[in-house]
Amino acid sequence: MSFFAKTLFIHAPIERVWAALTQASALAAWMGGEMQSDPHPGGSYAFFDDQITGDYTLVEAPYRLECTWRRSTWRADWADSNVRWRLRRLPDGVDLQLVHDHFPNLEECQKHAEDWSSRWLSLLKTWLEQETPG
């Protein structure tokens, strides 16, 4: 089983960070593209015109979010991977942890780890901190 974990501090209220991870309009604002999100256990999401899809498995606003994750390019016999977000409120922001696991192979794990680090987490942080007054 391949996995990676990332942590990051975001200077923004926890409610805004939660919204950025769960609300379709906020997801579209920082990621770009077409987003759909129905954040409740059993609800589904679709990013970038169904290039990435999954189902929410745990939703405990605003602290814990878990979902399955599948790329449209993956082989049909590959199982979905899992994404887990943990948010911890701090006096001046949020400690955010991402764990992404159960990849079909090491190559997919490494590719996703690089994409999260080099692109998506920095976009999330930048968007939230620019949008947060003070």
CATH of the domain at 102: 3.30.530.20
Give mean pLDDT, residues 68-85: 97
**pTM for the structure as a whole:** 0.94
Mean pLDDT of 63-78: 97
Q: Provide the token pair at 78.
A: 């590959």
Confirm if 16 and 127 have CB atoms less than 8 A apart: no
Structural domain harbouring 70? 3-131
% of the chain exceeding 70 in pLDDT: 96
Compute CA distances 110 → 5, 14, 89, 115, whole Å. Answer: 12, 29, 29, 9
Asked if the model's pLDDT at residue 134 lies above 80, the reply is: no
How many helices (H) and strands (E) the chain has is answered by: 4, 7
DSSP 105: S
pLDDT of 19 higher than 70: yes
How many structural domains are present in the chain?
Answer: 1
Specify the pLDDT at position 111.
96
Residue 9: partners with Cβ closer than 8 Å, 6 or more residues away: 90, 93, 94, 95, 96
